[in-house]
Amino acid sequence: MSRFVIIVAGGTGTRMRTNTAKQFLMIEGLPILWRTLRRFGEAVPDAPITLVLHESLFDEFRILESEHGPSGATHLIKGGAERFHSVLAGLTSLPDEGLVAIHDAVRPFPSIKLIRTAFDTAATHGSAIPTIPLKDSIRKISYSKDSDSVSDSVSVNRSDFLSVQTPQCFDLSLLKPAFASPYSPTFTDDASVFEASGHPITLCQGDPVNIKLTTPEDLIIARALFGE
Amino acid sequence: MSRFVIIVAGGTGTRMRTNTAKQFLMIEGLPILWRTLRRFGEAVPDAPITLVLHESLFDEFRILESEHGPSGATHLIKGGAERFHSVLAGLTSLPDEGLVAIHDAVRPFPSIKLIRTAFDTAATHGSAIPTIPLKDSIRKISYSKDSDSVSDSVSVNRSDFLSVQTPQCFDLSLLKPAFASPYSPTFTDDASVFEASGHPITLCQGDPVNIKLTTPEDLIIARALFGE
């Protein structure tokens, strides 16, 4: 089956407390996004890569391409309000058959093995979601009715949960109809859209190094992991 | 109220895939445990620190003290089979009144502010559990009846959960009776023991840098964060 990649780069930098969108921050001389795309170029060189980016960043992206060379993205698409809308925009550009890996732009360390395993698992089972155990205990919280403040919390068993990473891989013939549903706030990742259409989710082995860079501390961590 | 600290160092190195227990691994010339204890020495210099350690590591601990100077621990206590038993052993050495902070030995970066906030919150409310939002989506899993393999998983809303850190602080007059209960496998952290006795849990603000060092990659991360 033909393979495709969608890289979702929705953010514009708020949580990273910088003026630069986090996918454009540098790790050892290259923007994070370039590092992410390079991994997919190595793992699945045949797969076209659709980059979904906030429209306000198109100019900066082109300047970075002139400075650092091609990113590896074969198509550039305008992102939407929520991740759901950005992924939907990316999917619209793809055929109705094949496999797609959907990946966070700010997760620059998926191993070659992880990417290939996710595609192979989805080829057999229709989906592949990389997961790892939780490191810390978690508590389930309730919010006050009239505010955003936490009103109550209760301990839950950490071993009943797994932490979810990307790339999440899917059979396009199942995923595209799933994304035809109306948007729901319960769609926290692509797997949740897929399963809302009644399709079973298959898990595969994630990797602790495959971290999502969200805060300034993560960038220090990323530079350390890259320098290893 | 008098303040006390219990540092729990149960592990003997399995998950870190080294022969050295992870709390004894080095960050910039000093064992992780020494770095952890130093933070408490700075934040609450008046508080005696009880170190609960696996008995098989007592000799190595003493050798490290001769090499690196005193760790800062004022009491050394033999650990038990599970975290619950180790904390119970530590608590037995403390008076029945006051406040105690219970902290993981392999979490060397609690900020001074975080430690003091946890004590202050527990002084007012009886408990203080530092929490941070989850970075990744999570899935709730079910296990097959006849094996340890995952049989099913379902997406849950990440914003309904918080990730739990240490130090977890408690009023000793409430915590000690709570630890008189028989051990249960649902006791995944100290807060879960406290709330099983019917006491309310108060949350406070954790810190993304206050990571628990579990895997070899974490050690690279820790060295990077320390060198910042």
**pLDDT, tens digit, 9 for 90 and up, residues B194-225:** 999 999 999 999 998 899 998 877 888 788 77
**A198 touches A154 (CB < 8 A):** no
| pLDDT > 70? residue A30 | yes
pLDDT value of position A186: 83
Instruction: Identify the bridge partners of residue B130 per DSSP, sorted by sequence position.
Output: B204
User: What is the C-alpha to C-alpha distance for residues A8 and B8, in angstroms, rounded to an integer?
Assistant: 41
Strand partners, A162: A133, B139
Chain B residues with beta carbon closer than 8 angstroms to that of A121: none
Question: What is the average per-residue pLDDT within A5-23?
Answer: 74
More confident residue, A135 or A125: A125
User: Cβ atoms within 10 A of the Cβ of A14, count?
Assistant: 9
**Optimal mutation site among A137, A189, A214, interface B, most CBs of chain B within 10 A:** A137
pLDDT at site B81: 87
Indicate the Cα dihedral angle B216, B222, B227, B228, nearest 10°: 130
Say if A141 is an interface residue toward chain B (CB within 8 Å).
yes
Residue B150: predicted pLDDT: 76
- pLDDT per position as a tens digit, A39-51: 999 999 999 999 9
- Counting residues of chain B whose pLDDT is more than 90, the rounded percentage is 71
Tell me the residues of chain A between 105 and 124 that have a Cβ less than 8 Å away from chain B: none
Q: Is A186's CB within 8 Å of B157's CB?
A: yes
Residue B224 touches chain A, beta carbons under 8 Å: yes
The ipTM is: 0.88
Residue A13: pLDDT above 90? no
Q: What average pLDDT does chain A have?
A: 91
Cβ neighbours of A162 in B, within 8 Å = 138-139, 141, 150, 153
Provide the CATH topology of domain A3-127+163-226. Answer: Spore Coat Polysaccharide Biosynthesis Protein SpsA; Chain A (3.90.550)
Residue in B102, B131, B153 to test binding to A, most A beta-carbons within 10 Å: B153
Across the interface, whether the CB atoms of B136 and A163 are under 8 A apart is answered: yes
CB B77 within 8 Å of CB B52: yes
Q: The whole model's pTM is what? A: 0.87
| Mean pLDDT confidence for B29-49 | 96
The domain segmentation of chain A, as residue ranges, is: 3-127+163-226
A16, A181, A224, A17: which is closest to A87 by C-alpha?
Answer: A181
